[in-house]
Amino acid sequence: MSDIQRARAVVDGPQGYYTREYSKAESGYWEKLPIWMKEDRSKRKVRRVLDIGCGYGTLLAYASALYGAAGHCMDVTEYLVPQFRNPRNLRFAKGNVELDPIPWREPFDLIIMTEVLEHLNFQPVPTLRKIRDALAPGGLFLLSTPNQEKWGKTTKYYQRLSDLPPPDRSRKFVDDHIWQYDERELRETLAEAGFEILKFDFSTSENRRHFNIMATRK
C-alpha cells in the first residue's frame, strides 16, 4: 500500500494536496479494509472492482493489484488522473452515483466506498440499493465513514437523517459532510438497502473515528 501511496504523491507533486495532507490521513480512515482484502483474496476470485468516489485512487489501485482485477472508478471529480490510472489500467467515469446509473453493466465482485456516505446529499437507501444491485452474487461491499460518536453530529443542513430529501437532479450539489452516522443509523440503513453486515469494526489508528464495514447482498 505504501508503494502505491508514494507513487500517487509523485504524480501529485510536493505541493499537491494529496502529498501535503491527504496521504497522511487516508489509511487511518479505512485501516481495516486492506487487511480484509488480503484475507478475501485467498478465498475467492475477484475479477472486477468498483470504487465509488475513489478520490486519488490509491485504495482502488491497491485492490486491483492485490486481486489481479480490473479496476473501475465512478466519481464526481477526476482526482484519478491519467498519469496514475493509465499505467495501472484503471477505468474512470465521471458521474454522481446518487443521480446517475453506474456506467458499467457487468456486476462487480468487490465494491469499495470510502469516505463518501457522509457526503450523500439525498436519502442514502436508494443509492445503496443501486450499489447492492451492482454486486455479483457472493460479492463484497467495503465501506468506511466517520463515526458520529467521535466526529459529532452534523446538523448544518438537516436535524435528522430522515430529513434528507429523495434524489432530485434539480437540487444543487453540496460538497460537504451532510450527515455523519451513529452505529444504529448505519446498521439500519444498510439493512434497509438489502445488505448483510459480515464485519463491523473501527479504524484504531484514528481512535475509532471511522466505521469500517464489510457487507454482502442479503
- Domains observed in the chain: 29-217 (3.40.50.150)
Enter the pTM of the model: 0.96
Q: What is the mean pLDDT of residues 64-75?
A: 98
Q: What angle do CA 59, 39, 28 make, to 5 degrees?
A: 40
177 pLDDT band, cuts 50/70/90, is very high
Confidence tier at 52 by pLDDT (50, 70, 90): very high
Q: Would you state the pLDDT for residue 205?
A: 82
Res 208 pLDDT > 90: no
Segment 130-146 mean pLDDT: 98
Separation between Cα atoms, residue 125 and residue 31, nearest integer Å: 25
With b for 16 or more beta-carbon neighbours within 10 A and e for fewer, the 121-158 pattern comes to: bbbbbebbebbbebbbeebbbbbbbbbbeebeebeeee
Q: Model confidence over 31-41: pLDDT tens digits?
A: 999 999 999 99
Residue 206: predicted pLDDT: 81
Percent of the chain with pLDDT over 70: 100
Report which residue type is found at 94.
Answer: K
Beta strand residue intervals within 97-187, DSSP E = 108-114, 135-146
Distance CA 42, CA 45 (A): 8
pLDDT 10s digits, 89-98: 999 999 999 9
Position 117 scores a pLDDT of: 98
The mean pLDDT value for 120-131 works out to 98
Residue 118 predicted with pLDDT over 90? yes
Residue 133 confidence (pLDDT) above 90: yes
Q: Which percentage of the chain shows pLDDT scores above 90? A: 97
